[in-house]
Structures are given as C-alpha cells and as structure tokens.
Structure 1
Amino acid sequence: MLPDSVLPDSVLPDIETVVRENLAAVLTIDIAPEDLEPAAALTGTYGLTSLNKVLFLTSLCRDTGIDMAHFTEDDLAGMHTLRDCVEILSRHAPAGA
C-alpha cells in the first residue's frame, strides 16, 4: 500500500485525481474529491454500492485509458480504499501516461 504522502512517479497524481473525482461523482453523499480519505473503506465509510462500484470502475477505465480486461478478479476484489484503487490502477497504466 502507498502511504498518504508518497506518490512514487508522475503517473500517480493523475490517476489519484481521476480516482478521487470519479469516486466523488458516484457516491450518494456530497463530498469534494479532495476531502476523500485515502485509507477509508469505500463501502463502509462512503457507502459505495456494488452498482456504483461498477460505474466507478467503468469511468476510471475510460478516463485513464486502462482496459478493464487488464484487471484480475483479485485486483477488483482488492479495491477496498481509494489508496487501493490508485495502487492497482497505476500497475496497469499505459507507459508514458
């Protein structure tokens, strides 16, 4: 897992921004993207439903150019927090993104 303050390369800030914006867009609570906590549980803290997770992941793939087919079942099951999403997406980001 990535610590809150460590962004190892230039790809992560872009991915983190996209993750934050897309997560805030699908949540049923009103929260600004910058107010989302990296380690908070997406379902427990933010109430992300299964349907909203699908919408969230679909929009993430569209906005990052990452093909959903790259994700394994373990990747999808491991997306419990914003930090998890950033970490997993960064592994599949196109070179030079």
Structure 2
Amino acid sequence: MSADLSTIDDAVRDNLSRVLSKPVDPADFDPDRDLAEGYGLTSMQKVMFLMSACDDTGVALETFTEPDVAAMKTLRDVTDALAGAVAG
C-alpha cells in the first residue's frame, strides 16, 4: 500500500464506516470528532476498526501499545498514528 496520507485517511474512513452501527458516509466524518462520543464507537468496534485499518495500511497492530490505542480518540489521531507507523 502507498504510504501517502490521503491513502491512509481513505482506508481509515472506510474501515470506520464499516464498523459503526449507524451508517455514516466515509466522506462525512469530522476528523476531530470523538469516535466514542460523537459516533458511538464501542470498545469492541474500536478493536475491529483498528485491526482492519492496520491490515489495509500494512501496519502491525502490535506496533501500538495499549496507551497508544487509548490515545486514538479521533479519526485524525488514528490517521496520524498509522501514518507515523508507515513512515517508520
């Protein structure tokens, strides 16, 4: 997968859209909205979302510590974390 930020952002948006109970178009996500409070993302959904986003971007989920994952509260947080991991 290409490591450019746009491609990572697209993958993150698509994967988030797939796990939410209420449908949201990937283009409609606010990158700074809290995923749990703003979109109702549960802890189980967050795990599924991060697993699939990591798979799609070629990043091992094990790259992130528990505190890293806990700090991923917004779409921007997730995108930035994955972009940083891809960049090495």
Give the structure-2-normalised TM-score: 0.91
Q: After TM superposition, give the deviation of residue 69 of structure 1 in Å.
A: 1.2
The share of aligned pairs that are identical, in percent, is 43
Alignment gaps of 5+ in structure 1: 1-9
24, 30, 33: which one aligns with 1:40: 33
Aligned length: 86
Map residues 78-97 of structure 1 onto 2, 5 A cutoff.
78-93=71-86
The answer to whether the 8 A contact 1:65-1:94 is kept is: no
Whether 1:56 and 2:45 are equivalent positions in the alignment is no
Structure-2 residue corresponding to 1:29: 22
Q: After TM superposition, give the deviation of residue 94 of structure 1 in Å.
A: 5.5
Alignment gaps of 5+ in structure 2: none
The answer to whether the 8 A contact 1:66-1:94 is kept is: no
Cα-to-partner distance string for 1:23-44 (whole Å, 9 max, x where unaligned): 0110011110000000100000
Q: RMSD of the alignment, in Å?
A: 1.3
Helix, strand or coil: the match of 1:40? coil
What is the one-letter code of the residue matched to 2:10?
T
Structure of higher CA gyration radius = 1
Kindly report structure 1 stretches of 4+ aligned residues shifted beyond 6 Å: none
Cα-to-partner distance string for 1:29-82 (whole Å, 9 max, x where unaligned): 111000000010000010000110010011011111101111122210111000
The structure with the largest helix share of the pair is 2
Structure-2 residue corresponding to 1:4: none
Give the structure-1-normalised TM-score: 0.83
